[in-house]
Amino acid sequence: MAATRVRFCLALLMLVASMAAWMMPSAVAGSRPPPNYADALSKCLLFYEGQRSGKLPPTQRVTWRKDSGLIDGQDAGVDLVGGYYDAGDNVKFGFPLAFTGTVLAWSIVEFSAEMGPELVHAHEALRWLTDYLLKATTQPNRVFVQSGEPFSDHSCWQRPEDMDTPRPSFQVNDTHPGSEVAGETAAALAAASIVFRSSDPAYADTLLSRAKQVYDFAYRYQGSYAESIGQWVCPFYCDFSGYEDELVWGAAWLNRATNSSDYTKHIIHGIQQIQTQTKLRVNGYDSQFSWDNKDAGNYILLLLMQKVDYILGDNPLHMSYMVGYGNKFPQRIHHRAASVPSVDQHPQHLWCKDGTPYYVTDAPNPNLLVGAVAGGPNDGTDNYLDYRPWSNQSEPATYVNAPLAGLLAYFSIHG
């Protein structure tokens, strides 16, 4: 078990490295005291409360956020209230959302003991996501994969509590397939069923049953959502790597969740398809692991790239890239809710362009989105410009914190 956990830790290090190019610069060795990994873990999980969409619970700790997205799904006659905004915008993109769920669940499965008192918050973060996925998959052979029209949303700088841009619901189905997003959704539901198996077996049963249903749809009606609804998901979360890796990924998690080999034939077939397409290039695109590409996750390529300490301040700039951690961290992350005064500070409605002055100002964000991890340096150097419009360096995302939670839990005990 210990060896398995070390291998998983190395794999997660690779995952974070591939998702955040800023981890590529060289770290500064040994000149600073070790990070407080437990504190970073707490903040890492708190970030998810700042990304919540829907009716917020009484236990909400990020109190400057309020209810939002309460009409999501109404256009399609379904309840799609809830879930997470993926990054600094106000759209709920289903593909990276599901990937966040899978990897967050994986982190919890492997490192629940190391999470200590934060385990309850990890469970809350995951359940907020899976509750939404259950809503999005209530109908057979249909998965709702996005809430919000991304082009109008991205043309506005508006806090989610005020958003008045169109909120259409996008779906994949038997005539408009989306095997990559459905396969990832199945993986998330299956992985989460393992997390909740001991604490809430009835909920775990529901998750696993739905995972099987969604995977059957993904496998039976094969095709890419980039072709079915590509005009709405591209270029934001367009699928470039094909959907075979998600089918393998989903089948692997179903095998683990069911403690069986029922899906092995799907895994073998999927790997053969990937090999046929000559996708196994160790030094190429397919050595990555991200919301889009699962090849490295499927084959557990143990590629170790820079360490988590770099994120937390062991770098030439001596700054943490996690908001709220340490004495020096990004002040101007690319995030609508964080950069626009909260409803408590500014009760009046702010329309689409009313937030523009807050977008262009050099002033720090008025709301501290604790735990958000900025994109950071991404040009092969250690240079970082704390500049809100530069989204590739300053925008956080839910799918970055998901593997980071596992890393921080591990290092909080073994670091």
d(CA 363, CA 382): 23
To which H or E segment does residue 186 belong? helix 179-195
> Where would I find the H helices in 196-307?
201-220, 225-228, 230-233, 244-258, 264-276, 295-299
CA distances from 266 to 39, 209, 292, 298 (A): 41, 18, 19, 13
**Cβ proximity of 225 and 233 under 8 Å:** yes
Q: Which of 222, 206, 219 is nearest to 251 (CA)?
A: 219
Active site residue 123: no
Q: Which of 292, 259, 126, 102 is nearest to 191 (CA)?
A: 102
Cβ-Cβ contacts under 8 Å for 321 (sequence gap 6 or more):
22, 311, 312, 329, 330, 373, 374, 376, 384
Helices 94-115 and 2-19, axial angle in degrees (round to 10): 140
With vertex at residue 227, the alpha carbon angle to CA 224 and CA 230, rounded to the nearest 5 degrees, is: 110
Q: Which of 121, 334, 346, 349 is catalytic?
A: 334
The catalytic residue positions are 334
